[in-house]
Amino acid sequence: MRNIALIGVDIGSYNISISSGIINSLGELEILNSYSQVSQGVIAGIIEDKESLSKVLKSLLDKAINDTNLKDYIIQVGITSRESRISYNNYENPIKTGEVNASDINKIIEKAREDLVLGRDEIVADTIILDYIIDNRSIKENVIGWKSRRLKANLCHIICKKNIVDSYIEVFNLIGYKVNKISPDIIYSRKFFLENNYNDTALIDIGDEVTDIAIYNNDIPKELFSIPIGGKQITNDISIGLGLPKGESQRIKEIYAFSYKTLTNLDDNINSKIGTIEIDKVLLKEIIEARIEEILKIVILQLKKASYYDKISNVIIFGEGIVNFEGIKGLAKTIIGKKITITTRNSHNLQNSSTILSLSIVKGAYDDIELLCENFNTLDFKQNEIEANKNYKNKKLNKLKNMLKGIF
């Protein structure tokens, strides 16, 4: 059995993180390394400068793949959930040989995708197998090799804007790497956060420029949202409120995140010094709290608009910076009014919280293979390979067009 490398790539507006793992000779996942670097060329989850992004990506990918010492690897990529949506359906097919193989599963997924109603600018980026049905039994494990005359699968499809997905594929093509799957980070993140089968949970990823939200029941995604607001707004507010350059404001935010409240109680001095810069501690506290409160209130508004606020019982908040602010859990609980879990690097013994998502992607790649792969020697795993200009047929839309022609 040959070893396979799994590479998870999380591309954000502020950071890019890459994690690597291998499937060893026993078929087990081993995590090797994680790297992160300041992102270039991405604004609010959209690629604005492919050349700048490709340089950062190539450097990190070369390093991660060299770590594995393997020639065979799978690359899966996480992006923003901006303009993404979820659709469900199922499909059933006869099993001609009487024994389920990988091609049977791939055919079901392909046919189910064809039945989806997509906009001209949409693409199915990912398909999650919720369960298989064999002899009226629900099965949530690899069914390859099972004896059956028919196989049914209940599926969840992640639908993204085609131009967004294509732009990421093009960047990887520029640096000579093939992408096996692209899906929103918030979909991969369930592999990290929902191992305990939380009921009715909101995962909230507060990034630098975008806040992504996913609603889950157990580990099944129900809804995706994306809000164009994040930690960068705190930096901008500090810059305006304290009259400082944005670079200095970012540095102050990072230095004082863990103690911005305590700082105001240490002594009677209103001001504090960072090098030669003197800042108003009370004003800094008010600026930070006001913006965090606004971000959380916008999240609540989005949940209420979609009629999910009353249904959820757990809220898990993570991200590269905002989770580090002093008192964030209490503030979030007061504003959101739900059970709150704040995920930081310390809560999972990580060196860097920005690698959480790339680690989730590696775990997701491994789970995909476990569920879909016929054997690790041939790695018969075609379902999620994405081609930049692939068009999926839309049978329902064609039928509708034909009906309209007949009427008019």
What one-letter code names the amino acid at 250?
Q
Predicted pLDDT of residue 74:
92
Predicted pLDDT of residue 321:
74
What's the pTM value of the predicted model, to 2 decimals?
Answer: 0.83
**What is the radius of gyration, based on Cα positions, of the chain?**
23
Exposure b/e, 113-125, CB count within 10 A at least 16 = b: bebbebeeebbbb
Helical axes 328-336 vs 281-305, angle rounded to 10°:
40
Domain harbouring 114, CATH code: 3.30.1490.110
Whether 295 maps to a domain, the answer reads yes
Whether 396 maps to a domain, the answer reads no
Q: Tell me how many domains the chain contains.
A: 3
Q: Do residues 33 and 181 share a domain?
A: yes
Asked whether the beta carbons of 364 and 158 are under 8 A apart, the reply is no
Strand ranges inside 103-210, DSSP E: 122-134, 137-139, 150-161, 181-184, 201-206
Q: Do residues 201 and 308 share a domain?
A: yes
d(CA 263, CA 265): 5
Predicted pLDDT of residue 71:
86
Q: Do residues 207 and 110 share a domain?
A: no
- Token digits for 174? 């520029």
What one-letter code names the amino acid at 33?
N
Q: Do residues 232 and 306 share a domain?
A: yes
Q: In sequence order, what are the beta bridge partners of 37?
A: 16
Which residues form the domain of 246?
197-344
Question: Over its length of 408 residues, how does the chain's per-residue pLDDT go in tens digits?
Answer: 457 899 999 999 889 999 999 988 788 889 999 999 999 999 989 999 999 999 999 999 999 999 898 888 999 999 999 999 999 999 999 999 999 998 999 999 999 999 999 999 999 999 999 999 999 999 988 899 999 999 999 999 999 999 999 999 999 999 999 999 999 999 998 888 887 656 789 999 998 899 999 999 878 899 999 999 999 999 999 999 999 999 999 988 888 888 877 877 655 555 666 666 788 888 988 999 999 999 999 999 999 988 889 999 999 999 877 888 888 999 999 999 999 999 877 766 666 667 889 999 999 899 888 776 654 444 444 434 444 334 433 443 343 333 333 322
Angle at the Cα of 170 from the Cα atoms of 165 and 176, rounded to 5 degrees: 130
Predicted pLDDT of residue 400:
34
Q: Do residues 110 and 39 share a domain?
A: no
